[in-house]
Amino acid sequence: MSLTRVQCERFTAFEKITVDFSPGLNVFIGANGTGKTHLMKIAYAACDISKTKLDFAEKLCRVFLPSGMALGRLVKRQKASSRGTIEVHRAEGKLRVSFTNHTAKADLATVVGAADWCSRPIESVYIPVKEMLSNAPGFRSLYSQREVHFEEIYADILDRAYRPSLRGPTDSERWKLLTTLQKAMDGKVLIKEEEFFLKNKQGNLEFTLLAEGIRKLGLLWILIQNGTLMKGSILFWDEPETNLNPKMYGELMEILLRLQRSGVQVFLATHDYVILKELDLRKNLSDKITYHSLFRDDNGQIKWQPADRYLDIHPNVIAQAFADLYDREVKRTMGWSAE
C-alpha cells in the first residue's frame, strides 16, 4: 500500500521533478526552499483523500492554503500562462491532478484516477513542525465552524489524536514502542474533555506545562496507542528535531525504524546532523532507508538525488555546514587567521 513516486511539473517551487520512494523510511534533506515540505504535503494530501474521498485539488488547497484558496496560485510562477500537474503513484495505480495558473477554484481542476485511488484507502498522519496538542481544546470546533487561516494539516493531526483507543489487547510490538515512549517522557497521555495531560507519579500535567519536545513524544504515543500508526499506514513528520533535546533523537529514531520494520512507511524532513547519524548508526541491514537530497542546480531548478547510505548523500548540505565549521575551527587552531 506504500507510495512509490511523486511527480510534479510546474508546481510551487518545482519546474519538473520525479521522486521515487522507499517502502520503508524516507529522509528528505536540503537547504530551505528546496521543496521538502511541499513533497510531503502532496503525498499526504493524496493519502488523506483516499479515506475522506475529498477532491484531491480541494485537499491540496486546504493543505497549501494559497491566497483566496485560488488553486492556480500553486502553479510555478512564470510570465506566460502555464499548467501544473502532480502525480502520486503506488503499486496499485496513480492519482493525477492538473490545473492552470488561471484556475480560480479547486473544482475546476482535472483529477484523474480518484475513484480507483479511493477504493483502497491509506491511513496517514502528518506531524507538522508546530506542536498543536496544547492548543487543541476548542481548535477543532473553531476550525470547522469558522474561516480560520490554518493549513489543514493542523486540524487533521488533532482529528487523529482524538481518535479513541483500539479495541482488544495491545500487540507486543506496539506495547514495546509505547513503553519506550513512556520511559522517555515519564508518563502516559490522558485525554479529558479535549484536553491533553501527561499522567505520571506527580498526577496529571497539562500539556501546556510540558516542554514542546515532550508534547511531540506524547503525540507519537497517542498515534501508536490509538492504532493510527499501524502496518500499512504512512507517517509524514516535518522536522522531528524541533524543540527536542538531541539526547532524545536516538530513541525517537529507534522508534521510527521499528515502525518502519512493522510496515509503516515513514517520511521525514530534517536539517539535523544528529538525526541523520542516529539513523545511520541504528539501522539494520534489512532496513529500507532512502535519503532524498533536494538541491538547486546551476539554473536554479530543484533536483533530486537519492542515496541508500548516509555517506553517499550528495549534495549533503548538513555535512557541508559541518565541513565549513571544521575548516574554520582548524584554521583558528593553527593561528592561520592571525598570520
Q: How far is the CB of 130 from other proteins (least distance, A)?
A: 27
Distance (Å, rounded) from C-alpha 273 to C-alpha 251? Answer: 15
Contact between 312 and other proteins by CB under 8 A: the answer reads no
Selection from 242, 276, 282, 291 nearest residue 259 by Cα: 282
Q: Which stretch binds other proteins (CB under 8 A): 86-94, 96-104, 123-131, 331-339?
A: 331-339
Contact between 311 and other proteins by CB under 8 A: the answer reads yes
Q: Which parts of the chain fold into alpha helices (H)? A: 36-52, 56-64, 114-118, 139-145, 152-161, 172-185, 212-225, 249-261, 273-282, 317-333
Contact between 284 and other proteins by CB under 8 A: the answer reads no
Contact between 291 and other proteins by CB under 8 A: the answer reads no
> Bridge-partner residues for 307, per DSSP?
291
- Checking DSSP bridges between strand 3-11 and strand 83-90, what pairing results, if any? antiparallel
Contact between 300 and other proteins by CB under 8 A: the answer reads no
Q: Which stretch binds other proteins (CB under 8 A): 85-93, 145-153, 300-308, 316-324?
A: 316-324
Contact between 175 and other proteins by CB under 8 A: the answer reads no
Q: Which stretch binds other proteins (CB under 8 A): 121-129, 137-145, 214-222, 320-328?
A: 320-328
Distance (Å, rounded) from C-alpha 324 to C-alpha 334? Answer: 16
Q: Which residue has the cell 506531524?
A: 127
Q: Which residue has the cell 474533555?
A: 193
Contact between 104 and other proteins by CB under 8 A: the answer reads no
Q: Which stretch binds other proteins (CB under 8 A): 14-22, 70-78, 255-263, 315-323?
A: 315-323
Distance (Å, rounded) from C-alpha 108 to C-alpha 104? Answer: 7
- Our CB check for other proteins shows the closer of 236 and 310 to be 310
Contact between 171 and other proteins by CB under 8 A: the answer reads no
Contact between 335 and other proteins by CB under 8 A: the answer reads yes
CB atoms within 10 A of CB 228: 20
- Our CB check for other proteins shows the closer of 263 and 315 to be 315
Contact between 314 and other proteins by CB under 8 A: the answer reads no
Among 130, 277, 282, 296, binds other proteins (CB under 8 A): 277
Q: CB of 304 within 8 A of CB of 18?
A: yes
Among 64, 197, 273, 291, binds other proteins (CB under 8 A): 273
Selection from 25, 29, 27, 21 nearest residue 4 by Cα: 21
Residues that bind other proteins (CB under 8 A): 273, 277, 311, 319, 322-323, 325-327, 329-335
